[in-house]
Structure 1
Amino acid sequence: MRFDRIDILVNNAGILTQSLIQEMSVEVWDRMIEVDLKSVFLTTRYVVPYMISQKNGRIINTSSQLGQKGGAELSHYAAAEAGVIGFKKSIALESGQYGITANCIAPGPVETEMVAGISEEWKIQKRSELAIPRFGKPEEVAPTAVMLAANPDGNIYTGQTLGPNSGDVMI
C-alpha cells in the first residue's frame, strides 16, 4: 500500500535522566538535546515541505510541563522541552498560511516507562505538588492529541501548549 500524503506528524520521542547541574557531563546534556529537541527539528523539517504542497497538516509535539516551569535535577530536560515549546511557536507562525497547525502537548508526569526510571523520592515530592495528587495515565493524555489532529479542513488551534498535567502548571 502506498500513501501519498503526510497529514499528521506527532513528535513523541523522549528520554529522561536526573543530574544536578554541577555533576552533569556535557555528554548527558548533549544526549538530552539530541533526542528531545533535535529530533523534533529534523522530523518537522522533513514533513513541512509535503504539508506545504498539500496546503494542510497537523504537527503535534509532545513536550513537558517542566519546559514551562523547570525541575530540580532536570535542567537538561527542562531546557530541551522549553526548546520544543518555542520551536512550535515559530513553526506555527511560519506555516499557518499553508493550512498547517503546530501545537504542543505538555503533560505532567504520566505513568510510563520513562517516569518509572525516576527516583521514588522525586515521585513522592512531585505528587505532593500537584492539585490532583497523582500522575496521569497515557489514555488521559491521548484525547488531547486526537483533538489537535482532528478536523483536517479547519482547526484554529495553533501555536498552543495544552497541559494535561494534574494542575502542575496552570495558565
Structure 2
Amino acid sequence: ILVNNAGIAPALPLTQTSEAAFDEVMTINYKAPFFLIQAVADHIRENGRIINVSTGFTRIAAPTHPAYAASKGALETLTLALAPEFATRGITVNAVLPGVTETDMNAEWLSSPEARAGAEALSVFSRVGKAEDIADLITFLASSDARWTTGQMIDATGGARI
C-alpha cells in the first residue's frame, strides 16, 4: 500500500508566485508522488493499493492557491492515467480530495477565528474536517473492500460542493 500524502499549499496568487515557489509546490505535490510510484511500481504486491491525497481545491475556484490546485490536479490526472496500467495486477489507484482539515499545514490559518468560521461554513456539517475523517476513507480504500474502486477522485470535503 502506497499513500502519497505529502503536500504544501502556499497562499500565493498568480502574480505573487515566483518560479522557485512554483517549482517547490510542483516538486512536492506532483513530481515526488510520480517518481515514488515509479520507484515502487514493480514492488507493489498483487491487489495492492495506491492512494493519492489531492484536495477539494481542484473542484472550486481557488485564486489564492493556483499552483497548489494545479499540482493536485496533475496528481488526479496521474491517478486516472495509472489506474488501467496497475489494474492488470489487481492494484487500485485512487485519489482522496480532502476539504479543510485540522492538520499541521492548516494550523496557523485556522487559528484565526474568522478563517475558522469561514472554513466551517464550507461544510454542510458546519465544521472543519478532522484527520480521522480523511484517515478512515484512506483506510477503506486500502482495504480489500475497495477492490472494485479504481481511477476515482473521492470527495472528502464534508459536502462543501453541495
- The TM-score, its normalising length taken from structure 1, stands at 0.85
Mapped to 1, the partners of 2:143 and 2:13 lie a distance apart of: 40
More displaced stretch, 55-64 vs 123-132: 123-132
Q: 1:17 aligns with which of 10, 13, 29?
A: 10
Identity %: 29
Q: 2:73 aligns with which of 62, 76, 82?
A: 82
Q: 1:63 aligns with which of 37, 54, 78?
A: 54
Q: Which amino acid aligns with 2:81?
A: S
Cα deviation digits, residues 34-85 of structure 1 (max 9, x gap) = 001111101110111123xx43310011111112224121001100111111
**1:18 touches 1:118 (CA, 8 Å); kept in 2?**
no
Superposed counterparts of 1:1-171, under 5 Å: 8-51=1-44, 54-118=45-109, 120=112, 122-151=115-144, 155-170=147-162
- Name the SS of the counterpart of 1:136 in structure 2: coil
**2:8 touches 2:28 (CA, 8 Å); kept in 1?**
yes
**1:17 touches 1:118 (CA, 8 Å); kept in 2?**
no
Mapped to 2, the partners of 1:122 and 1:38 lie a distance apart of: 30
Unmatched 5+ stretches in structure 2: none
CA RMSD, Structure 1 to Structure 2 (Å):
1.8
- The TM-score, its normalising length taken from structure 2, stands at 0.90
Mapped to 2, the partners of 1:137 and 1:44 lie a distance apart of: 27
Mapped to 2, the partners of 1:102 and 1:76 lie a distance apart of: 23
- Name the SS of the counterpart of 2:88 in structure 1: helix
After TM superposition, the runs of 4+ consecutive aligned structure 1 residues lying more than 4 A away are none
